[in-house]
Structure 1
């Protein structure tokens, strides 16, 4: 009897999971990609609030930080953390400029994962993410969003990232949520709110 109940619960759970997320058909993928590329073609700038959740298995509660993100064509990006600390990361001219509460440093963006993460974020905003040769992309959907799941092909990237999930709301062409999953299973989830497309963004925003 207990075995039957257990199997029944497993079946219900599997059906629930399946109902929540399904693979997109080839025709749905084609329409989705075409829509994103068309709608994002005219995006020159973007500014948005974000909340970041860092999940670590050994902690009972995710680490929460928040701030603002600014993007300006062709590839200017600023992650500005404001709570619970002041910290900013600016991607500009193939370099990463870091300002840690007044302590400034510069990193070559052509090294490690900085370039890849920047490329994914910029690509998801500009609609140019689907041609990245370093990731295999699978497409899913749930009742609220389309989901592009990117799995790295190269050993170098696999050291840092197991998978990147990009969530696109059904009624929007820009990403509402990014999930970066590490090889250990820990992950970072970033949720964007109050997005303003083509709002005025001064170049001074990208001076760190």
Structure 2
């Protein structure tokens, strides 16, 4: 919680040289073949007195493999491998066929954010900021469905490594979802079974 508060509380100012930052971010993305990181997630809602908290491990493998595994307080696994999507809640696989279009959009969004393609300007209108220790990218959705759901998405990168430190979704309804990443490791070998098996 302290980490999240600290990242968000830093005063931001507009980034003068966006081209240099975007180029560096793209180069870092090209060199990154895999990511493993612990994450904490906090969901803030007007319906909740206290934010909902969860934690787990995030896996990414180039070019289109994702695994979000929440371990606390409840077990939840989201696997995306190419066109295949699997979800498990509390040990039971969920039938995603009825909500496949929605789930696919979520997958596409996450891959766009993780692999750095958000800078293309096709899906989002980006604006760039910096604080003492971080770079911040504010993304305003161009896609109508995303725009109806999110006012904007904020990504926070550490200045020295350009690894994603925080990912925050600000919803139209006023709710927000903040994920903070720690112990991030890049270019480590990840077995393909991580993206096929629960």
TM over 0.5: yes
Rounded to whole Å, the distance in 1 between the matches of 2:137 and 2:124 is 11
Give SS of 1:57's match.
coil
Which structure 1 residue ranges, 4+ long, deviate > 6 Å from structure 2?
none
In structure 2, the gaps of 5 or more residues are 1-9
Within 5 A, what are the aligned runs for 1:154-193? 154-193=143-182
Aligned residue pair count: 187
Contact map agreement 2:118 2:124 (CA 8 A) in 1 = no
Q: Pick one of 101, 105, 112 that aligns with 1:111.
A: 101
- Which position in structure 2 is the counterpart of 1:21? 12
Matched, 1:137 2:126: yes
Structure-2 change in CA distance of 1:160 and 1:190 (3 Å): same
Rounded to whole Å, the distance in 1 between the matches of 2:104 and 2:131 is 30
In structure 1, the gaps of 5 or more residues are 1-18
Contact map agreement 1:146 1:170 (CA 8 A) in 2 = yes
Rounded to whole Å, the distance in 2 between the matches of 1:177 and 1:36 is 15
Contact map agreement 2:141 2:152 (CA 8 A) in 1 = yes
- Which position in structure 1 is the counterpart of 2:112? 123
TM-score (norm 1): 0.83
Rounded to whole Å, the distance in 1 between the matches of 2:27 and 2:105 is 23
TM-score (norm 2): 0.86
Matched, 1:64 2:44: no
- Per-residue CA deviation, residues 58-101 of structure 1 (Å, 9 max, x unaligned), is 32321110000000011100000000111100112223210011
Give SS of 1:37's match.
helix
Contact map agreement 2:69 2:75 (CA 8 A) in 1 = yes
Structure-2 change in CA distance of 1:140 and 1:116 (3 Å): farther
